[in-house]
Structure 1
Amino acid sequence: MTVNAQRALRKTRTGPSRRWMVAGLIGALTLAAGCSTREAQSETADTGSAVSFVDQRGQTVTLDGPAERVAFAVMPAPSIFAAVDRGYDRIVGINRSTLVANQGGMFATMFPESANSAVVAGNDFMPNVETLLQLDPDVVVQWGDRGTDVTAPIESAGFPVAGLEYGTQEDLETWITLFAQIAGKPERGQHLVDWQRDEQAAMRAEVAAQTVPRPRAMILSRTGDTYSTTSAQGYDGFQFDLVGAELVTEGFTSDSGQVSPEQILAWNPEVIMLSGFDESTPADIYADPRLASVSAVQNKRVYKTPLGGYRWQVPSAESPLMWQWMHKILYPAARDGALRADIRAAFDDLFAYDISEAEIDEVLRIDMNRDAAGYDQFLR
């Protein structure tokens, strides 16, 4: 039985989809109220025909038309989809980790409904089929490279699955393109991919012009007294090289990512960027006597990574902003005072949101980073 046939059978058993019952009312309210600012600025979706795309499993997925309801078992996909759509209206379910990020950052400010989104999967990415049945999405976005355990329950329930892979800039650009197809906005997707590529080219040119040695740097996470980091095999291998850093974890391998204070001392990074996936702060690192002789600690070059629409350290629609931030803290002499203006322009283009100066402070974690070396370049 095909996915569409399974879904049709499920709907005959459970009754008509909620969106069909309220479609007339929504249409009437829209006509009465007029378009919102975001709607007026967003590219209109092509709603006239079926949508077909090949996901990262190599499987062809066909929808009746641009999706009206999308559930995401993975992160940071919802923020990328919201950037493609310039809105949150179609997102009906998310991963629990995404919900935490939404509630702790700018996303819930831009899209208040995102702070109360239904959770369709946890950290293990196993789908909550009962919740999916209640939400009735047109498509579910799930990992496509973690086996059928995480996809088969969704497809068995009658929902199409868009399978994703993660870890490279090419994957990120593929996500943007796929989400634009799902939303019926291919031109919007191309616009965002072009921005990513243009910013990469500009960054490479800027790094090539540097005449000083590459600073030694790393991403660091802390939970209790335990540290962990990332390797050059993942996305950090790409972006640290892109922004002109020497990633000290080159060649580091660990199933858990855990790293000892002794190893951090041996690497002796000049710059430490703290993960946005935990509650660690620069003050925590400075206070750890085990790291007192590390160059980044001695020179106050420990920085909490920004939190915008999502955590900037991972591939996202905001990645070009992360590259700029990284480069400017690595090379403070190259300061140009442009990042705040670039954030303002990007949030308008990505999310149709007029971000305030105080909100830019929140994104840049000014409260935690204010006293770090070179961070005065980001102050108002």
Structure 2
Amino acid sequence: MASSTRRARRRTWSLPPRRWIAAGVIGALALTAGCSTRDAQTETASGTTGALSIVDQRGETVTLDGPADKVAFTVMPAPSIFAAVDRSYDRIVGINQSTLVANRGGMFATMFPESTESAVVAGNDFMPNVETLLELDPDIVVQWGDRGADVTAPIESAGFPVAGLEYGTQDDLEAWITLFAQIAGKPGRGQELVDWQRAEQAEMRADVAAGNVPRPRAMILSRTGDTYSTTSAKGYDGFQFDLVGAELVTKGFTSESGQVSPEQILAWNPEVIMLSGFDQSTPADIYADPRLAGISAVQNKRVYKTPLGGYRWQVPSAESPLMWQWMHRILYPGARDGALRDDMRAAFDNLFAYEISEDEIDQVLRFDMNSDAANYDQFRR
């Protein structure tokens, strides 16, 4: 494939002081005093302009002749993470169908209107649409690296480099951020974001340990029609719920489909239910189901729809530290200082170069569904 001309594009930015970033981490970051608009573009010492050799999560070396100008993603939520690394949607030319649905349903469309018209290069099965890729001519395609040659070979046969990903752990998330920063020619930016994630984890663990109280029983729940499904502790939710101080009631639960009966949910008797952002379920749906009337979370109105920001917060993303803060405050009302809105404003500026409004914060936090839930007033403006 003929290589396209590439240039390193670095947006100046600054990471404002936050109470949840340790002083040592702040001292370690190479910060630049910058602006919060996408219009200012400067090249910094942490950017790269020459040929790149990138090792993906398969252990394969991918070589580019410079930072990529055009990147296609068959996987999600990779585009939102890449946009956070780049503080821009400029380089993203193709996405997964599910990503397009999420883009059109949340804040991403407001921050990056062009994302609602992105070409679709794969569906739910992640099989690449090679014809569309040939039309888009990306410099690199981001694809799963642990699902066999069926999903990668067609891309490579068409002449496109592939960056293979793995999924499911916090380490994987940090590897994505690092890899995407390399693809964009911005390794310093990637390290800054990883440092932020790690600093927030450290403070969260310290807060939970200092609390020294019984952990609330909690779970993620999905509903399609009359059928319920959930997640096990083996996935990312096991990490998240432990981090924020919850007892994940699904520990030990195994099911290929994830389906769970109302009787099993009753037996678990969660005190807090967080509803998946991947379906249309609402707290009102859960309260209206007579099969779940005896559950503590239902009786005490502690059922919450998970936020939808740049992407669905419940899965590993550039916004994961905000999800951890939201979860911790749901579990422990009054914990920390109640300043999630301030943290969101700072994070959306840093991640997406976007000044989020008060109404938009309400939208992300799903006040349309959660306003009547117990203790949700702590998030009001």
* TM-score of the aligned structures, taking structure 1 as reference length: 0.90
Which portions of structure 1, spanning 4 or more consecutive aligned residues, are displaced by more than 6 angstroms? Answer: none
- Whether 1:270 and 2:271 are equivalent positions in the alignment is yes
Instruction: Give per-residue Cα distances to partners, 1:298-317, cap 9 Å, x unaligned.
Output: 00000000000000000000
Contact 1:335 1:377 in 2 (8 A): no
Q: Partner of 1:212: helix, strand, or coil?
A: coil
2:359 aligned with 1:338, yes or no? no
How many Å separate the matches in 1 of 2:228 and 2:348? Answer: 33
Distance in 2, matches of 1:246 and 1:321, equals 20
- Please say if 1:303 is aligned against 2:290: no
SS in 1 for 2:350: helix
How far the C-alpha of 1:37 sits from its partner, in A, is: 2.4
The corresponding residue for 2:132 is: 131
Q: CA–CA distance in 2 between the matches of 1:136 and 1:229?
A: 39
**One-letter identity of the residue aligned with 1:191:** E
**Corresponding residue SS for 1:68:** coil
Instruction: Determine whether 1:361 maps to 2:362.
Output: yes
Counterpart-to-counterpart distance in 1, 2:195 and 2:95: 27
Number of the residue aligned with 2:115: 114
Q: Residue in 1 aligned with 2:50?
A: 49
Secondary structure of 1:52's match?
Answer: strand
2:311, 2:160 → 1: CA distance?
26
Structure 2 unaligned spans of 5+: 8-34
**Partner in structure 2 of residue 37 of structure 1:** 37
SS in structure 2 of the partner of residue 94 of structure 1: strand
User: Structure 1 202/43 Cα, relative in aligned 2: closer, same or farther at 3 Å?
Assistant: farther
Mapping 1:158-307, distance limit 5 Å: 158-307=159-308
Structure with max Cα Rg: 1
Shift of 1:38: 1.3
Matching of residue 329 in structure 1 with residue 330 in structure 2:
yes
Q: Mark the runs of 5 or more structure 1 residues left unpaired by the alignment.
A: 1-6, 12-16, 24-34
**1:40 offset after TM fit, Å?**
1.7
Is 1:98 the equivalent of 2:99?
A: yes
Q: Tell me if 1:143 matches 2:167.
A: no
Could you state the TM-score of these two structures normalised by the residue count of structure 2?
0.90
Other structure's SS at 2:133 match = helix
Question: How far is the alpha carbon of 1:39 from its aligned partner?
Answer: 4.0
Counterpart code for 1:332: P
Shift of 1:337: 2.0
Q: Is the CA contact 2:36–2:353 (under 8 Å) kept in the aligned structure 1? A: no
Distance in 1 (CA, whole Å) between partners of 2:260 and 2:41 is: 47
CA gap 1:271/1:236 in 2 versus in 1, 3 angstroms: same
Give yes or no for contact 1:43–1:185 (8 Å, CA) kept in 2: no
> Secondary structure, in 3 states, of the residue corresponding to 2:59?
coil
Contact residue 95 and residue 120 of structure 1 kept, 8 A: yes
Figure out how many residues of one structure are paired with residues of the other and give that number: 353
Alignment partners' CA distance in 2, 1:300 and 1:169: 30
Deviation, 1:211, is 2.9
